[in-house]
Chain A
Amino acid sequence: MLSNTGNFLLILSILFTSFIIYQSFACLKKTNDMIFKSIYKISLLQSTTILICFFTLVGAFMVSDFSLINVYQNSHTLKPIFYKISGTWGNHEGSLLLWVIILTIFSFLFLITNKNHPKNYRINTLIIQNILILGFLFFILFNSNPFSSISPIPKEGLGLNPILQDPALAIHPPLLYVGFVGSSIYFSAAMASVITNYSGKFFAQSIKSWVIISWSFQTLGILVGSIWAYYELGWGGFWFWDPVENASLLPWFAMTALLHSLLVLEKRNILYFWSIILCLLTFTLSVTGTFLVRSGILNSVHTFANDPSRGIYILSFLSLMIFASVYILFTKYKPTNDQINSNSKETFILINNWFMMFYLITVLLGTLYPIFTDAISNNKISVGPPFYNSVIIPVVIIFLFFMAIGPKVRWIKNEFLNFKDLLKIIVGAIAVNFIITYFFKSYSLISNLIIISSVFLIISTISDAFKKPKINFARIISHFSFGFLIFFIGLNHNFSIEKDFNLKLGETKKIDNYNFELKDLKLQQYDNYKAVIGKIQISDLSTNKKRTLNPEIRIYDNPQTLTYEASIKTNFFRDYYLTMSNIDRSDYYNIKFQEKPLMIWIWISVVMLSFGGFLSFIRNAKNN
């Protein structure tokens, strides 16, 4: 029953979408400046239908309707209700439905919120956005249909991969998708802007809010994913430079660059062409990321069930998108004359963009290089974290200095920089650095430079807050928290302690300043899994403080899976992180212990970073 309802709603959405496109073309032919009332109505109907369609699927998951293959493969009656619901978008088909929801809702919201912009620009945006929607709806209906039915109806589902049964991972896809898919609306708007020659300042104003909001959500989405990886994957890091993670970072770089270049476009009416390129790039990278992740051509530590036919569809859709946008860009674009004084805010923002492009190219090359070598020379290779660290870290140091100075510089033409102030700040940063190295009793050139540059950015951003008569708090908070983020990552990366060893029950082991004792092992039965809970006491020999950590080994029934749950003790200064795994056919337990200084501050910095984005969104909404 639900299968028919779902399919009916999908087809209904396709009809509405086609009708919007048809009506929009009709509307374009009319010379007056009014958009048909019917377009608003159908858009609202379209969004509602898609939403109902999605909730139909959610309903199917809630009542465990195993007549749907999708529910059968990803759910189980014994699963807690929360994970039944989040299972809806925890799989490929359901997440695509979520993807289309964001496409349509953004389409509708863009239509109703941009009333002071010309009709042709809005209608063209709507047409392009709806062509995208149509493309994805067809993909869902014919290739990845979440409403495909199965017969005979199975009695029980296969269950959701246990490591995906997690609150962080339940909210991770929706957050990330608002960022990822949200970028579609300025892709469409950029195309429409080129087609209708609605360029410059007003174009910047119309998409600014959308860029900011998608950037903020993307930032949060990446954060939640990385927190999840930190406690769930059990290796104690929060970023692996894995292809799947890179796929979320690539559009983020493009978005960040766009965010800044739009400021120039809005204020000075220059960098139009470049901003358009960035709009196109952001959404293209979002779709590319999806393609890489879903097609399975990349070897990733994260797994997704792969299906080559999906890859082919997304790849052709992607090529068509890129080809069409480049074609429109080169046939319709009218060159403008941009002039930039080299000592001006414009230049500094352009420098920001260059850096973003550098990061983007680095990550893109690192991610794609294995595919090329495999195709060309048949060599199987992989690119690991050392590559990214050695390329990106030194560049970040220079970047932070520019990031600190940039906002101090004036638009159009700057007279001079106040070198006295800068000198004071840098002396301050070096002093902070010495205190820190003294405190941690460790030394490395690169970590010192990271600390100095990030503290330089922090101090100089704070000092901006007191100087200017009109302060932009959103900017201050974002720049300030980015400085903090790099600062804490630097400290965390350099001063983490990691110990690996094997222990038997009752055994005690002394390593450096710590005594580890495996005191107890308990077997506990839960609703949908069994857990072996270890009790490990860590005594700090220098302070005589004892801590007990309880890592778990979980044995899930549906599907039969073994997972290791890290035990983490967090405080404001450091995280104690411990995982335990049993070793096949032996009494030994493998223990991985880590001490990670200031871990929680990394998360807080990113939350503040995206908070800056939200603040900027509110500020921008007020101004317009």
Chain B
Amino acid sequence: MLPKKVKKRASLLSIFLLLSVIGVFLILNALNKNILYFNSPTDIKISQDINYNKKMRVGGMVKKNTLNIKDQEIRFIITDFKNEVEVSFKGTIPNLFAEGKGVVAEGKLQDKKFFIAERILAKHDENYMPPELKNIMKENAE
């Protein structure tokens, strides 16, 4: 028989380990369910396995002269200068949303050319661009 102290300590330790394993499992599981992939219109075009039921983010520039505002809905085209995706959105557009400026839309893809956004991401600064977007724009401009 092990001494009482050791037994107690072992049981405490095993409970702790078990709880941590469960905890980490829960966290990772939730992470996997809730991550949003960021795509450019080109990514969408070349992608073979798009899950249309999963939310994602699409980023690029709002194409000039494509903004179309109706009573309830706002439509515009996101471009990365190579490919385009049309976006439909109902809701509040953030500061500095305008044609010719960078934008990130969050929502679901209907087909490869049409995206229904649930949220347009806010930005504070006219010079600010999400790091993801900056890279894409840099690559495509070259």
Q: Which residues of A contact B (CB under 8 A)?
A: 161, 163, 233-235, 296-297, 299, 301-303, 339-340, 342, 354, 358, 361-362, 365-366, 369-370, 373, 379-384, 386-387, 390-391, 500-502, 559-564, 579, 581, 583-586, 588, 590-592
Interface residues of B in 31-90 (CB under 8 A from A): 31, 33-39, 57, 67, 69-72, 74, 90
Q: Which residues of A contact B39 (CB under 8 A)?
A: 380
Q: Which residues of A contact B36 (CB under 8 A)?
A: 381-384
- Whether A390 lies near B34 (C-beta < 8 A) is yes
Cross-chain pair count, CB within 8 angstroms: 117
Is residue B142 within 8 Å, beta carbon to beta carbon, of the partner chain? no
Q: Which residues of A contact B1 (CB under 8 A)?
A: none
Dominant secondary structure of chain A at its interface with chain B: mixed
Q: Which residues of A contact B18 (CB under 8 A)?
A: none
User: A361, A381, A502, A581: which contacts B24 (Cβ < 8 A)?
Assistant: A361
Q: How far is the CA of A161 from the CA of B37 in the complex (A)?
A: 30
- Whether A391 lies near B26 (C-beta < 8 A) is yes
- Whether B35 lies near A369 (C-beta < 8 A) is yes
Q: How far is the CA of A371 from the CA of B35 in the complex (A)?
A: 12
Is residue B98 within 8 Å, beta carbon to beta carbon, of the partner chain? yes
- Whether A302 lies near B124 (C-beta < 8 A) is yes
Q: Which residues of A contact B24 (CB under 8 A)?
A: 361
Tell me the minimal C-beta distance from A388 to chain B in angstroms.
9
- Whether B125 lies near A161 (C-beta < 8 A) is yes
Tell me the minimal C-beta distance from A310 to chain B in angstroms.
15
Q: List 24 A-B contacts (CB under 8 A).
A: A233-B122, A303-B123, A362-B27, A370-B35, A373-B35, A380-B37, A380-B39, A380-B132, A382-B57, A384-B34, A387-B33, A387-B34, A390-B33, A500-B90, A502-B70, A502-B71, A559-B126, A561-B96, A561-B125, A579-B92, A583-B74, A586-B69, A588-B71, A592-B91
Tell me the minimal C-beta distance from B132 to chain A in angstroms.
5
Interface residues of B in 89-125 (CB under 8 A from A): 90-99, 106, 121-125
Q: How far is the CA of A369 from the CA of B38 in the complex (A)?
A: 14
- Whether A383 lies near B31 (C-beta < 8 A) is yes
- Whether A382 lies near B38 (C-beta < 8 A) is yes
Q: How far is the CA of A296 from the CA of B74 in the complex (A)?
A: 31
Nearest residue, chain B, Cβ from A587: B69
User: B27, B37, B93: which contacts A361 (Cβ < 8 A)?
Assistant: B27
Q: How far is the CA of A28 from the CA of B5 in the complex (A)?
A: 41
Q: How far is the CA of A368 from the CA of B65 in the complex (A)?
A: 38
Nearest residue, chain A, Cβ from B67: A584
Nearest residue, chain A, Cβ from B99: A584
Nearest residue, chain A, Cβ from B130: A299
Q: How far is the CA of A301 from the CA of B122 in the complex (A)?
A: 6
- Whether A299 lies near B124 (C-beta < 8 A) is no
Task: Known pairs A233-B122, A297-B131, A361-B23; list 18 more (Cβ under 8 Å).
Answer: A296-B131, A299-B132, A301-B121, A301-B123, A303-B125, A354-B16, A361-B27, A370-B35, A380-B132, A381-B38, A383-B36, A386-B34, A387-B30, A387-B31, A500-B90, A500-B92, A502-B69, A563-B95
- Whether B67 lies near A365 (C-beta < 8 A) is no
Nearest residue, chain B, Cβ from A387: B34
Q: Which residues of B contact A380 (CB under 8 A)?
A: 37-39, 132
Contacts A303-B124, A342-B12 hold; do A387 and B96 have CB atoms under 8 A apart? no
